[in-house]
Amino acid sequence: MNRTILLIEDKTSLSETLKTLLEMHQFKVILAGNGEDGIKLARQRQPDLVISDVYMPVINGYELLESFKQDSDLSNIPVIMLTAKTEIEEINLAFKKGAAGYVTKPFLFKNLHATIKKVLLV
Amino acid sequence: MKSQQYIKVSHLMNGIKEPVLLIDPSELTVLKANDTAVELLGGGKRKAITGKPLQMHYGNGQQLQDMILPSPGDSFIITTTLTGSKILIDFKANRININRKPFLLAIGKLIEKKQTLKLQLQHLEKEKALHEMKANFMSMTSHEFRTPLTAIASAVDLLEARLQMDGMMNSFYQHNVSKVSTEVFNLNSMLDEILTLSKIMSNNYEVKKAPVDVMQVLNYLKFQYFSERKDERILNLKISGEPRKISVDKNQLSKILTNLISNAFKYSVKKNPSIQLSYHKHKLVIKVFDYGIGIPAKDIPHLFNSFYRGSNVDHIEGTGLGLAIVKTFTEMNNGTIDVTSEENKGTTFTLSFRYEP
């Protein structure tokens, strides 16, 4: 069965390419352009995994992680952070707030794919 | 009658060009002032200051009531003279004994006119704000640069996957697709290094030391940056001794290791690079080995200078900033770095960090 990934990313040039790449690896992909829409879509569609940017409009990635943690419908969905922030403090903060994985931009798709497989245990 | 010792001190005070005050430490009263002090503080009138309490502003009579001078070397500043003109005299008070009685002998240094000092402070504040603005701008810019770089890298990945899926991949496409991808990551590394150096140059780096498990940092770096390489090379790891945490800035250690390991992969083309962690009694020694072209002896003394590149690396990408950053961060964390190299055999970088109690 195809796993569903919700990709929350405000840059469409990246999200569309990533969507195609993920679909080529048999994932179903839902796109959201900001954290608020991402939370709404996560509630509606209950994806197997969320990949989210950190710095984006409306609700940022850390606030998104907090919302997921506090919501019983969302707290079991793993979230991988995808961000240009490479500082260890940022990475630690993301894991502290409940991230299941962290990939820094720019990245090779195979590294993101390896993280997805690790998180989904596939 | 004044004692011989007191007279000697008076002569001594008048022989000094700087303003000097002899102060009663219990009452903080000015007992004696030399000619320069009388001129500067009392407008030439000795009686205006001697026998009177020490004041911070001689114009409006604010006394130094809260001032306690507990030990020699303490200082105080007098900012206004009796005539009301603004001055800044930085006095250093020294405890002396005259006939076994304690006194404070305060020798002053006229520093700058208050206005000048204010301007200098304003200038410094502006400069600080400018440095901060520059660092923030660099940080923001590098973040913004990474966005299109990520889009390019992903588009290249997609192109490669599509060419393979459609059975159209050949050596020409493979070569050029890899080239674009490599250059995107080179550009990203350059951006990182310029950002780091800019932060170092504007003194914007704070060393946040905490106990760090080096193995944990290495495992993260291996997974994030040095695994699943196209050429299938891996980083060999050797550990000896009982692992202990070291007190360093985790972010800076991670940068040091990333730079050294990246270099090792860059130069150790035919053989896997390796890293060795030796936990000694008092220190951790980290050695990063590459088995590449080596560094000519004449280049070694300049290796850690910014923008310096070895004379035999023209064909290999690099900014010449990585090792300068490595050395700066190592020293900021009280570590040492050393390099040994043999041409066409390889290079070893040795880092050493003492455990802190």
User: Are B135 and B106 found together in one domain?
Assistant: no
pLDDT of residue A1: 67
Chain A contacts of B157, Cβ < 8 Å?
A: 17, 21, 108-110
Chain A contacts of B147, Cβ < 8 Å?
A: 11, 14, 84, 105
Q: Which long-range contacts (CB under 8 A, 24 or more apart) does B48-56 make?
A: B48/B82, B49/B21, B49/B82, B53/B27, B53/B28, B53/B29, B54/B21, B54/B23, B54/B28, B54/B29, B54/B30, B56/B80
User: Are B228 and B317 found together in one domain?
Assistant: yes
Q: The domain that contains A74 carries what CATH number?
A: 3.40.50.2300
Is the pLDDT assigned to residue B70 strictly greater than 50?
no
User: Are B355 and B247 found together in one domain?
Assistant: yes
- Interchain contact, A87 vs B251, CB within 8 Å: yes
What's the rounded Cα separation, in Å, for the pair B6 and B343? 75
Q: The domain that contains B232 carries what CATH number?
A: 3.30.565.10
What's the rounded Cα separation, in Å, for the pair A8 and B6? 83
Could you say which of B89, B111, B133 is where a domain stops?
A: B111
User: Number of folded domains in chain B?
Assistant: 3
ipTM over 0.85: yes
Q: What is the pLDDT of residues B293-314, one digit of tens each?
A: 999 998 899 889 877 777 777 7
Confidence of residue B96 (pLDDT cuts 50, 70, 90): confident
pTM metric for this prediction: 0.60
User: Are B253 and B341 found together in one domain?
Assistant: yes
Total residues found in chain B within this entry: 357
User: Are B352 and B218 found together in one domain?
Assistant: yes
Region B332-340 average pLDDT: 95
Q: Of the ranges B35-44, B54-63, B255-264, which is most confident?
A: B255-264
Closest CA of chain B from A110, distance in Å? 8
* CB proximity B254 to A under 8 Å: yes
Residue that is written with structure tokens 């890293």 in the block: B275
User: Number of folded domains in chain A?
Assistant: 1
- Interchain contact, B150 vs A114, CB within 8 Å: no
Q: What is the DSSP string of B251-267?
A: HHHHHHHHHHHHHHHHH
Best mutation target among B140, B144, B147 (most A Cβ atoms within 10 Å) is: B147
User: Are B251 and B356 found together in one domain?
Assistant: yes
User: Are B19 and B103 found together in one domain?
Assistant: yes
Torsions phi, psi for A54 (to 5 deg): -100, -55
The DSSP call for residue B301 is G
Termini Cα distance of chain B: 60
Q: What angle do CA B185, B191, B196 make, to 5 degrees?
A: 130
Structure tokens at B299: 């280049």
pLDDT of residue B225: 74
- Interchain contact, A14 vs B150, CB within 8 Å: yes
Confidence of residue A96 (pLDDT cuts 50, 70, 90): very high
Q: The domain that contains B22 carries what CATH number?
A: 3.30.450.20
Chain A contacts of B149, Cβ < 8 Å?
A: 105-106
Range of the domain at A47: 3-120
Chain A contacts of B205, Cβ < 8 Å?
A: none
Q: Of the ranges B119-123, B317-321, B327-331, which is most confident?
A: B327-331
User: Are B130 and B249 found together in one domain?
Assistant: no
* CB proximity B195 to A under 8 Å: no
Chain A contacts of B228, Cβ < 8 Å?
A: 108, 110-111, 114
Region B114-137 average pLDDT: 74
Range of the domain at B258: 207-357
Q: Which among A21, A88, A114 has CB closest to B158?
A: A21
Q: What is the pLDDT of residues A48-94, one digit of tens each?
A: 999 999 988 888 999 999 999 999 999 999 999 999 887 777 888 99
User: Are B165 and B144 found together in one domain?
Assistant: yes
Is the pLDDT assigned to residue B94 strictly greater than 90?
no
Confidence of residue A46 (pLDDT cuts 50, 70, 90): very high
User: Are B346 and B226 found together in one domain?
Assistant: yes
User: Are B330 and B212 found together in one domain?
Assistant: yes
Best mutation target among A60, A88, A92, A113 (most B Cβ atoms within 10 Å) is: A88
User: Are B195 and B250 found together in one domain?
Assistant: no
Identify whether the C-beta of residue A66 lies closer than 8 Å to the C-beta of residue A40.
no
